[in-house]
């Protein structure tokens, strides 16, 4: 097995940074060495410490770039690659006008396979090595994504959407078929390589009470699995969900009624939660997923990150792109917009906390911190190598940067895929060198 010694400036977080000068929360090596073998980090330290154990290892020198654990995207829709950048609608119109028509094509295996390949390419070009992904209602879409990800050795959480109402014919399953298809996909893919299955009822609006009962049964039968869904994103969506489930005390209460709140439950958006709802999520250890570019683009609202973190019963929070409601695959762009959303709420998110969030913070929120999100020996060897001088504007700005925090903030504010010098998956360089359009047809307008 190939052994690699990777030399770079190294940054890994030990705990959530509480302030811009919380130096105890991270480990930084100016001349660092990372020894990698069989997809695993064997040693992490200064180059001088690690090099003697490297023996005949292949040496890769990324200096002066900065190496961090690979970015983690806690919520994205791979079938929405051709929905991203669709003009002029709020959530429910956007779903009906753009998203459902695009998702209808994923019964076609070849189309699903092509978009799955493009999606993984985009993740890796942007330095993202793990994502929690929604497929469409078609089991073929999940088959396509899992097959692609398995062959490329990524750690992914994904599931087929369960959706049996309020969507066009051809894009719905039934309560029974959603249960059966989910069971079959779990049996085939969960635990293969680094794949994790997520039970995925799209949201309360598109599931009947019978389907919610099936989701309850799946969670009860598979407590080891994640569950992902949407919650409290948009005023019209909230009113619709509440009208469909009048017995529930509020939107969160719908999922609660069906036993869907738990420590592996990931709730996309959570913008308009009452204190009762936040308490219920907190008590269950459930995760609120902040999707800033999506929330701004769809005009959904401003997620109150610091209110949720600092309340007496804090919420677990992850951050995510929500492609294609979200407008960029980059977790750097995501945190830049996140910073602005938090600023509009009168708070700031310091750059250390921001990079903690998209590495170790998201790994903890996804209950995967034992394997990813850090450079600790024993972790999976997934990293991103960042160049803070990747563009002329970044280079000029970096002339005045004096601290690691400033460098991180420049990367977040000005950076995107151009700042990703390399992405490693299971110890191997994996960033696609160019965009492969996989059978692109010509435009016809």
Which is nearer to ligand GUN, 30 or 93 (by Cβ)? 93
For residues 267 and 376, give the distance between their C-alpha atoms in angstroms, rounded to a whole number: 28
* Of 139, 325, 351, 361, the one binding ligand GUN by CB under 6 A: 325
- Alpha-carbon distance of 232 to 215, in angstroms, equals 19
200 closest CA partner among 180, 213, 183, 215: 215
Q: How far is the CB of 327 from ligand GUN (least distance, A)?
A: 11
* Member of 78, 179, 203, 308 binding ligand GUN (CB under 6 A): 203
Pairwise CA distance, residues 227 & 131, whole Å: 14
Tell me the window of 35-43, 91-99, 164-172, 354-362 that interacts with ligand GUN (CB under 6 A).
91-99
* 34 near ligand GUN (CB under 6 A): no
Q: What angle do CA 196, 324, 362 make, to 5 degrees?
A: 45
Q: Which does 202 bind (CB under 5 to 8 A by kind): Zn ion, ligand GUN, none?
A: ligand GUN
Question: From the list 91, 131, 155, 358, which residue makes contact with ligand GUN (rule: CB under 6 A)?
Answer: 91
Show contacts with ligand GUN in window 213-242 (CB under 6 A).
Answer: 230, 233
Q: How far is the CB of 252 from Zn ion (least distance, A)?
A: 17
Binding site partner of 99, from Zn ion, ligand GUN, none, Cβ cut-off 5-8 A by kind: ligand GUN
Nearest to 3 by CA among 35, 44, 43: 35
**Are the beta carbons of 248 and 257 closer than 8 angstroms?**
yes
Q: Which is nearer to Zn ion, 337 or 422 (CB)?
A: 337
Asked whether position 75 contacts ligand GUN by CB under 6 A, the answer is no
Rounded least distance, CB 369 to ligand GUN, Å: 26
Helix (H, G, I), strand (E, B) or coil at 158: strand
In terms of DSSP bridges, do strands 155-159 and 195-201 run parallel, antiparallel, or are they unpaired? parallel
Could you please report the per-residue DSSP string of 3-71? EEEEEEEEEEESS---STT-GGGEEEEEEEEEEEETTEEEEEEEHHHHGGGGTT-EEEEEEEEEEEEPE
202 binds ligand GUN (CB under 6 A): yes
Find the binder of Zn ion among 32, 33, 139, 268 (CB under 5 A). 268
Where along the sequence are the contacts to ligand GUN (CB under 6 A)? 77, 91, 95, 99, 202-203, 230, 233, 294, 322, 325
């Amino acid at each position: 097995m190939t052994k690699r010694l990777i030399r770079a400036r190294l940054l890994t977080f030990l705990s959530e940074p509480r302030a811009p000068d919380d130096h105890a929360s991270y480990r930084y090596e100016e001349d660092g060495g990372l020894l990698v073998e069989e997809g695993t980090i064997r040693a992490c330290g200064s180059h001088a410490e690690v090099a003697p154990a490297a023996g005949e290892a292949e040496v890769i020198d990324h200096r002066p770039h900065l190496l961090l654990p690979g970015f983690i995207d806690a919520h994205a829709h791979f079938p929405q690659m051709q929905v991203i950048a669709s003009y002029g609608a709020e959530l429910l119109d956007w779903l009906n006008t753009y998203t459902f028509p695009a998702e209808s094509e994923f019964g076609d295996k070849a189309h699903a396979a092509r978009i799955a390949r493009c999606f993984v390419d985009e993740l890796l070009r942007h330095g993202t090595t793990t994502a929690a992904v929604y497929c469409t209602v078609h089991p073929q879409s999940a088959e396509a994504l899992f097959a692609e990800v398995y062959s490329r050795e990524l750690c992914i959480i994904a599931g087929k959407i369960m959706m049996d109402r309020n969507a066009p014919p051809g894009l719905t399953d039934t309560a029974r078929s959603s249960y059966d298809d989910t069971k079959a996909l779990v049996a085939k893919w969960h635990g293969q390589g680094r794949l994790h299955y997520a039970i995925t009822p799209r949201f309360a609006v598109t599931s009947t009470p019978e389907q919610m009962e099936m989701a309850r049964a799946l969670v009860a039968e598979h407590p080891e699995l994640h569950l992902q869904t949407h919650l409290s994103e948009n005023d019209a969506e909230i009113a619709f969900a509440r009208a469909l489930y009048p017995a529930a005390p509020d939107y969160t209460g719908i999922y609660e009624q069906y036993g869907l709140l738990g420590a592996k439950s990931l709730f996309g958006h959570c913008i308009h939660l009452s204190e009762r709802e936040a308490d219920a999520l907190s008590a269950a250890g459930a995760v609120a997923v902040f999707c800033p570019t999506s929330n701004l683009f769809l005009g959904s609202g401003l997620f109150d990150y610091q209110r949720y973190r600092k309340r007496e019963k804090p919420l677990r929070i992850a951050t995510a792109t929500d492609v294609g409601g979200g407008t960029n695959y980059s977790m750097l762009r995501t945190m830049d917009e996140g910073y602005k959303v938090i600023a509009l709420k009168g708070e700031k998110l310091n750059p250390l906390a921001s990079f903690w969030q998209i590495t170790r913070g998201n790994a903890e929120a996804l209950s995967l911190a034992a394997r990813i999100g850090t450079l600790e020996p024993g972790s999976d060897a997934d990293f991103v190598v960042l160049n803070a001088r990747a563009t002329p504007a970044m280079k000029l700005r970096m002339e005045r940067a004096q601290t690691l925090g400033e460098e991180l903030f420049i990367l977040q504010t000005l950076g995107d895929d151009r700042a990703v010098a390399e992405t490693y998956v299971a110890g191997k360089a994996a960033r696609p060198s160019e965009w492969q359009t996989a059978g692109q047809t010509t435009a016809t307008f």
